[in-house]
Chain A
């Protein structure tokens, strides 16, 4: 009997991928014009605007009243693991994604479920990073890229599947966790797999038909510019994965994407700069042509993906107007570049966490010189280096507030790592392609150089004035910080990221903590803000997992005791008490 019931349920799931739809008012199509100039009330894409700011112009919730913030509603997703996607809002419709490739549409004011889409995942699939970082909205559709490397177009009002296209090969351990970028009739995505020997790419699909329009690889082949930065054949499994949404400048039609580490990790088999890994690349959105780049980590040896896209900020440096591209690097430097047409010119770089690996940065070109004794490799024994594999900042997005003029960085300081000598490695489809003993990686985290005791603080939120290159404030936490940032016109910065389940608000000018609330799990989700019926809301997903959990495991080994952070996803939505 139990078996019969199970068969029937299997049949139901196969036949009806989405639940019936309840109307929630007119759905307003998302256009290029709206994405380029989003209304303050809405949060239409991953970071709110194309420039990647993570900024809401809403100012009903302020540094003066944020203490009265309280829960408006909460919604359990029914999923475990890392809930990282921003609640994306378009005129009362909210869209979140969860691990397990689900999309949930909610009424933004009440949390009422409108529809839910579940991509059926292959039973054989393995998930190195079980998460999803959100949808893209375009026209009257919702786009999601999945952990089994598909791109799916859904009807925004009903959740009905319109088309599904395979982007990569999950059997080769290509997988997608990023939110797509939508612009000019195209939906752009890339693939993860820096530890599985992928060849990174950005691919664009026609928003209407799903046809693939172009695909640009991030590792240069022989004969291409940069092709001579790899020994023969190494580019084919050379990494440079793309797993965070690009930023976009509609004026130049260039999208800026951050690229991941080269593969495998040891450098012996890939002498050269390994272009375009560890870089920001500028791609023409019409053709996919690579028009410019800047490489932060030539010949990287430390797993320093530079995947978070630069924030595009028009500013003034030394009395000169600069169209900047700013990126807090996993390599521990805050990079200020200038967008000069398609070129990305070095302006300045500032060390923002303890760093014993980069010796200097060329003041003209920005090219780093490394302390070679900090480069793990053959005949080197155990090599200690700072910052750790996860870097000064991993994928968690920074934020820029045009009112304060400050650039905010979610950082991890005082963490280092140790790697032993590499082991022989050969690319094999469907297997890890790393090059170090797994046991060493799992036990590789260290406190600061020569330190035996835990540092007093690790996680930080830092505020920088990029005009002067000065750090204005730093709010420090006793534990690490895996918290994406939101900043608002109410002079606020919002973030979770710590292992105590807290979600917090800070004074954007001073860094002083103004409000906090415990959530059901830990918060590594991207926070957003929106307005419905004249009221401002702040939304974030609570749901610990993935790399935050992994880093906690490494720290627990150093501490000698386990730290328990509960799992389970909840959409948390706050507003001011009436």
Chain B
């Protein structure tokens, strides 16, 4: 899965280079009849952002933070109330807001509810997932306290945060990518890459 992500990003970057594009056109002319077209691949990762979505060691900052951006701590999150956030490179003071595909939803749950697998991905009971629904790309920010799922307003896709974002209802075709976290003191820190490429395939 990680390989796939790297590949898609690479294709994007290469498309940006004029020399590369010319080569592709030549290839296209020769292959059009045999290969046919594939819009879905053309879509992969096509948010026009060359930089990484997230880097290990990034902090997280609240999406709507006004004024100073302050890295989030566990105590900034209320149990059962999701928060939208962006990865933040503390050294360069750069919040990765240039693509909404970088957006994550943080959910704090009572630590005793997390099994070992979830604990390994969490920081003080806080779990992080891509906030972009894998169905049609809507923001995911609703915690259904009755069903204990993260739900999407657009088409009611439901994901279980305690099972690594597994789909448990609605039309979403794949799990919500998980972003592993760890603690540095009180601060929430990104501990790994997204488990899969964030976002939906539109075609």
Contacts and interface: CB of A to CB of B under 8 A. Distances in A.
Contact of A2 (B7, B32, B48, B200): B7
Contacts of A439: 142-146, 151
Contact of B171 (A16, A126, A567): A567
A431 B138 CA distance: 9
A128 B154 contact: yes
A441 interface: yes
A65 interface: no
Contact of B153 (A7, A15, A430, A442): A442
A12 B7 contact: no
A23 interface: no
B15 A14 contact: yes
B99 interface: yes
Contacts of A428: 64
Given A10-B24, A553-B170, A16 B154 contact: no
A14 B15 CA distance: 9
Contact of A441 (B11, B29, B132, B153): B153
A553 B31 CA distance: 44
Interface string A47-64: 000000000000000000
Contact of B39 (A2, A120, A431): A120
A118 B203 contact: yes
Interface string A1-32: 01100111111111110011000000000000
A280 interface: no
Interface string A537-578: 000000001100110010000000010000100000000000
A11 B151 contact: no
B39 A130 contact: no
Contacts of B8: 6
Contacts of B65: none
B99 A127 contact: no
B47 interface: yes
A443 B156 CA distance: 10
Contacts of B25: 11, 15
A8 B101 contact: no
A12 B37 CA distance: 7
A102 B23 CA distance: 27
Contacts of A567: 171
A122 interface: yes
Contacts of A6: 7-8, 11, 41, 44
A172 B123 CA distance: 33
Given A7-B14, A9-B35, A127-B136, A14 B47 contact: no
A6 B143 CA distance: 37
A8 B7 CA distance: 12
A102 B42 CA distance: 14
A100 B7 contact: no
- Chain B contact patch, size range: 35 or more
A432 interface: yes
User: Which interface residue of B8, B35, B154 has the most chain A CB atoms within 10 A?
Assistant: B154
B27 interface: yes
B129 to A, nearest CB: 16
A127 to B, nearest CB: 4
B136 A9 contact: no
A16 B154 CA distance: 33
B145 A126 contact: no
Interface in B1-55: 7-8, 10-11, 14-15, 21, 23-25, 27-29, 31-33, 35-39, 41-48
B37 A118 contact: yes
B57 interface: no
B7 A11 contact: no
Nearest to A120: B42
B139 interface: yes
Contacts of B145: 439
A430 B24 contact: no
Contact of A120 (B23, B46, B139, B141): B46
Given A120-B43, A550-B156, A8 B24 contact: yes
Given A3-B10, A8-B35, A15 B202 contact: no
B137 A124 contact: yes
A280 B100 CA distance: 36
A121 interface: yes
B174 interface: no
A126 B203 contact: no
Given A9-B38, A9-B41, A102-B203, A128 B138 contact: yes
A123 interface: yes
A312 to B, nearest CB: 34
Contact of B24 (A3, A15, A438, A562): A15
Contacts of B36: 19
B138 to A, nearest CB: 5
B199 interface: yes
B138 A121 contact: no
B155 interface: yes
B172 to A, nearest CB: 12
Interface in A74-130: 79, 81, 100-102, 118, 120-128, 130
A15 B142 CA distance: 40
A137 B132 CA distance: 36
Nearest to B84: A431
A126 B136 contact: yes
B135 to A, nearest CB: 9
Nearest to A431: B139
Interface string A436-462: 001101110000000000000000000
Given A2-B7, A10-B41, A124 B153 contact: no
Contacts of B48: 122-123
Contact of B137 (A118, A125, A550): A125
Nearest to B46: A123
Nearest to A545: B171
B58 to A, nearest CB: 20
A439 B171 CA distance: 17
Nearest to A441: B153
A10 B37 CA distance: 9
- The CB with the most chain B CB atoms within 10 A, among A123, A442, A562, is that of A123
30 contacts: A6-B44, A8-B24, A9-B35, A11-B28, A12-B32, A15-B24, A15-B25, A15-B28, A19-B37, A79-B203, A100-B203, A118-B37, A120-B42, A123-B43, A123-B45, A123-B101, A124-B47, A124-B99, A124-B101, A124-B137, A126-B136, A126-B137, A127-B200, A130-B136, A432-B139, A439-B142, A442-B144, A442-B153, A550-B156, A567-B171
Q: What 7 A-B pairs come out closest when comparing CB atoms?
A: A11-B24, A13-B42, A123-B47, A126-B137, A15-B28, A127-B136, A123-B46
Given A128-B154, A439-B143, 17 more contacts: A6-B41, A6-B44, A7-B10, A8-B27, A9-B41, A10-B44, A15-B29, A16-B28, A79-B203, A100-B202, A122-B48, A123-B45, A126-B154, A128-B136, A439-B151, A443-B144, A545-B171
Interface of A: 2-3, 6-16, 19-20, 79, 81, 100-102, 118, 120-128, 130, 428, 430-432, 438-439, 441-443, 545-546, 549-550, 553, 562, 567
